[in-house]
Amino acid sequence: DSGVTQTPKHLITATGQRVTLRCSPRSGDLSVYWYQQSLDQGLQFLIQYYNGEERAKGNILERFSAQQFPDLHSELNLSSLELGDSALYFCASSVGGQDTEAFFGQGTRLTVV
């Protein structure tokens, strides 16, 4: 158990819908990262927050947004969902910035039908 909690574990939704994925980081960790992993693909970095502020951004679609709340949990919002958005979405957290090791949650498997 990494200490990073993601909910829900599985999500099935229709095209055009909007979903919210939730992440609780390890106790004491200030950074939260979101990654997308499509079937048999590598990890695609989406976004990082550090202590509530956006710190780094990858190729995150405009339909996707995220935020980190004062209690340091984070949410990833995916809207106008398309079939191609079906993937595993991972959250990770680290105590400091990107030069500190990150610990990953077990992911949310999103299926868009």
Partner 1 sequence: EDQVTQSPEALRLQEGESSSLNCSYTVSGLRGLFWYRQDPGKGPEFLFTLYSAGEEKEKERLKATLTKKESFLHITAPKPEDSATYLCAVPPNSGGYQKVTFGTGTKLQVIP
Please report, as ranges, the residues that interact with partner 1 according to CB under 8 A.
2, 4, 33, 42-43, 45, 48, 55-58, 88, 90, 92, 97-99, 101-107, 109
Separation CA 85–CA 113 (nearest Å):
10
Tokens representing 105 are: 């949650």
Which of 67, 103 has the CB closer to partner 1? 103
Radius of gyration of the chain (CA): 13
Which of 71, 101 has the CB closer to partner 1? 101
Within 8 A by CB and 6+ apart from 91, the residues are 4, 6, 21, 23, 25, 32, 33, 34, 35, 74, 76, 104, 105, 107
Query: At closest approach, how far in Å is the CB of 57 from partner 1?
Result: 6
Query: At closest approach, how far in Å is the CB of 101 from partner 1?
Result: 5
Classify the C-alpha dihedral 91-95-98-101 as positive or negative: negative
Which of 33, 112 has the CB closer to partner 1? 33
Query: At closest approach, how far in Å is the CB of 28 from partner 1?
Result: 15
Query: At closest approach, how far in Å is the CB of 16 from partner 1?
Result: 26
